[in-house]
Amino acid sequence: MGPVISEGIIEAETSIVIDPASKRLGVAWISLGVAPSAMGFAFSTDLGASWTMPGEVTAPAGRESSDPVLAVDAAGNFFLAFVGFRRDQGGNPFDMHIYVAESPAGSTTFLPPVEATDPNNTTAQYDKPWIVVTKNGTIAVSYLFQRTDLTYSEAISRSPNGQTWTQGNITPVTGTTAYNLSYFCYDASTARLHAVMIADSGGTNFDVVMAHSDDNGQSWSLPVSIAGKSTTGEQIAADDPTCVAFGGKVYALYGVATGPLMQQDGAQSSISLNLVTLTQNGSVKAGVQKIQDPSAGTVFQHATIAADQAGNAFVVYYAASSDDDMNGSYRVAHLGNVANLAPQPSQAYVTPIYYTIVRASQTWLGDYTGLTVDKGTAYTSFVTNEPGPSQIAFTSLP
């Protein structure tokens, strides 16, 4: 296992990105052991051999912070998107806003965050931002937007510079379907931006849907279902789908529940990981490949796929035999090149991991992991939690 790069108490939900030109790595996470919660971060200029002392980005006016994600532009500027909010006496979030903070090229700190959502809207509910920078320099942030009239959309904020933002919608505004957990993948060869997400029409019948934009996120196609009860007959797991886009194809990774859904925190009794190859418009190009290593357990969760500019793809995930498994593992697998996927056996980089989905636990794994790839090497940030509370660790895999 690589080094533990955080130093607080109870840290989870980590994101990692690399600037290919400078080789600067940035990692972000939630620091839950402080009040209010903050965005922890660290940088490395030697590909992870050493790290700066952890720093913090805080939401304005003493708000809580959550859901950090990182992106980097062609000039080497890093951007951190996250949600800030207050809590009422019952612990429920309100006064929510999406913020973006910039770390200029070569810096080891972040500038004060700027709001990407409408600062005058204090009644909306937001969730799970994602961030990407397109080839023309547009910074795009996606997030769930729940309005006071209970209409939902997966929304987007766009900026040319990280300072001024315009808001729009990725999905139609609807009161019947909630779109959430949007994940961006950008195909530089076609300049098409894709978003995969979960569509919830009520109950537990989720679909994985995909939409695309050819104008840097300004306008979007209608979302197309690529997996779920309505199209493939699968019971989609309530877990973040991820994707990579390369050479005019999209490779979407999502979880499938093979047992009944459990009530607490959306856990499943058993999950498999499906990778499907799609055309740019969302039709299936090649059938599903199972990504998980069956020798590692029966529950596979929080999987992320990423690829470098040459198409070398990797996947990371947690594996266990059941919820509350004290002998789980965090795994990394090379998928080969996206032009000819040939998944290799996964390697356990941390074992044991205490596999728990209880959010109130001091050993919580969070809801997602960090993965970035450059020149055939995968760099990943993740939660390690044995012994003691959750902390953020790092490893690389050539």
Q: Among 255, 333, 234, which residue's Cα sits nearest to residue 299?
A: 255
* Strand partners for 290: 274
Range of the domain at 18: 11-397
Other C-beta atoms within 10 Å of 91: how many? 6
DSSP labels for 244-309? Answer: EEETTEEEEEEEEE-SPBPSGGG-BS-EEEEEEEEETTS-EEEEEEE-S-GGG-SEEEEEEEEE-T
Q: Which residues contact 358 (CB under 8 A, 6 or more apart)?
A: 264, 265, 364
Tell me, yes or no, whether 5 lies in a domain. Answer: no
Q: What is the pLDDT, as a whole number, of residue 32? A: 87
CATH of residue 36: 2.120.10.10
Q: What is the pLDDT, as a whole number, of residue 264? A: 41
Q: Among 195, 273, 199, which residue's Cα sits nearest to residue 231?
A: 199
Tell me, yes or no, whether 84 lies in a domain. Answer: yes
Tell me, yes or no, whether 78 lies in a domain. Answer: yes
What's the CA gap between 127 and 129, in Å, rounded?
A: 6
Residues 172-176: contacts with CB within 8 Å, 24+ apart?
A: 172/222, 173/147, 175/149, 175/150, 175/151, 176/201, 176/202
Other C-beta atoms within 10 Å of 137: how many? 14
Q: What is the pLDDT, as a whole number, of residue 287? A: 76
Task: Report in angstroms the alpha-carbon separations of 44 from 22, 108, 167, 332, 390.
Answer: 10, 9, 33, 21, 21
Kindly report the pTM of this predicted structure. 0.95
CB 334 within 8 A of CB 307: no
Q: What is the pLDDT, as a whole number, of residue 265? A: 46
Q: What is the mean pLDDT of each run of 10 residues along the chain (398 residues)?
A: 74 96 96 88 96 95 96 98 94 94 97 97 94 97 93 96 97 90 95 94 81 97 90 86 93 81 46 82 79 89 94 94 90 91 84 86 92 97 90 92
Q: Among 263, 179, 172, 175, which residue's Cα sits nearest to residue 221?
A: 172
Q: What is the pLDDT, as a whole number, of residue 190? A: 94
Residues 134-191 have pLDDT tens digits of: 999 999 999 999 998 889 999 999 999 999 999 999 999 988 888 999 999 999 999 9
Q: Look-up: residue for tokens 């989609």?
A: 236
Q: What is the pLDDT, as a whole number, of residue 259? A: 59
What is the number of structural domains in the chain? 1
DSSP labels for 361-375? Answer: STT---S--EEEEET
Tell me, yes or no, whether 6 lies in a domain. Answer: no
Tell me, yes or no, whether 2 lies in a domain. Answer: no
Tell me, yes or no, whether 1 lies in a domain. Answer: no
Task: Report in angstroms the alpha-carbon separations of 175 from 142, 182, 237.
Answer: 19, 18, 22
CB 15 within 8 A of CB 72: no
Q: How far apart are the first and last CA of the chain?
A: 14
Q: What is the pLDDT, as a whole number, of residue 260? A: 53
How remote is the C-alpha of 253 from its chain's centroid? Answer: 12
Task: Report in angstroms the alpha-carbon separations of 265 from 28, 268, 356, 367.
Answer: 23, 9, 10, 10
Burial class (CB in 10 A: 0-12, 13-18, 19+), 50: exposed
Residues 359-378 have pLDDT tens digits of: 888 999 999 999 999 999 99
Q: C-alpha angle 131/212/73, rounded to 5°?
A: 30
Using the 8-state DSSP alphabet, how is residue 62 labeled?
Answer: G
Q: Which residues contact 187 (CB under 8 A, 6 or more apart)?
A: 193, 194, 245, 246, 247, 248, 250, 280
